[in-house]
Amino acid sequence: MTPALPRTVRAVGTAHLLDLAQEAATHRFSQRLPVDWLRVHLASEATHYLFPTLAHRLTHRPELPPQWRCQQLLTVNTGEQILGLLDVLPASFDKIPETLDTTSKQDIVGRIERAVSVREWMERTSAEAGSDRPG
């Protein structure tokens, strides 16, 4: 049985987020960004946020442990905050210290709701890079 989904937001530094992404890659969870992509695009000294939104177990892959799908608010090296998804083991999420007050959590959830997705950000930055090319 999958543990009950917490209704909270947790803050993590870039190194910790990379560890969580590597754990997701090791388990071959379906919602994760490649660790190498994160290393290139994340601001190295930033704080990122995880907000669990779905508790699930993949019945077609019973060898996988239960996981929580988290919306993640990532700060990229341009200073922008973008939305991604990351499947996290409940025990790994529970180890992240609770450091945010209620007002901060509400603010972060609002930013998550307004953030552009990783895909949208990549499309925009690719288009902008293309428009900078000499014509």
Q: How confident is the model at residue 128 (pLDDT cuts 50, 70, 90)?
A: confident
Give the integer Cα–Cα distance in Å for 30 and 61.
11
Residue 86 is predicted with a pLDDT of 96
Q: What is the rounded CA–CA span in Å between residue 40 and residue 58?
A: 30
Dihedral sign of CA atoms 61, 63, 69, 72 in order: negative
Sign of the torsion formed by the C-alpha atoms of 35, 107, 68 and 16: positive
If pLDDT is split at 50, 70 and 90, which confidence band does 125 have?
A: confident
- Mapping DSSP onto H, E and C, the string for 43-112 reads CCCCEEEEEEEEEECCCCCCCCCCEEEEEEEEEECCCCEEEEEEEECHHHHHCCCCCCCHHHHHHHHHHH
Alpha-carbon distance 34 to 60, whole Å? 23
Q: Is 3's pLDDT higher than 80?
A: no
Strand 81-88 and strand 116-117: pairing? parallel
The domain ranges of the chain are 10-131
pLDDT of residue 2: 63
Higher per-residue confidence, 101 vs 125:
101
Cα 42 to the chain's mean position, in Å? Answer: 11
Query: How much of the chain, in percent, has pLDDT values that exceed 70?
Result: 95
The C-alpha atoms of residue 18 and residue 87 are separated, in whole angstroms, by: 13
pLDDT in tens, 12-21: 999 999 999 9
Confidence of residue 131 (pLDDT cuts 50, 70, 90): low
pLDDT tens-digit readout, 30-56: 888 999 999 999 999 999 999 999 988
pLDDT at res. 1: 60
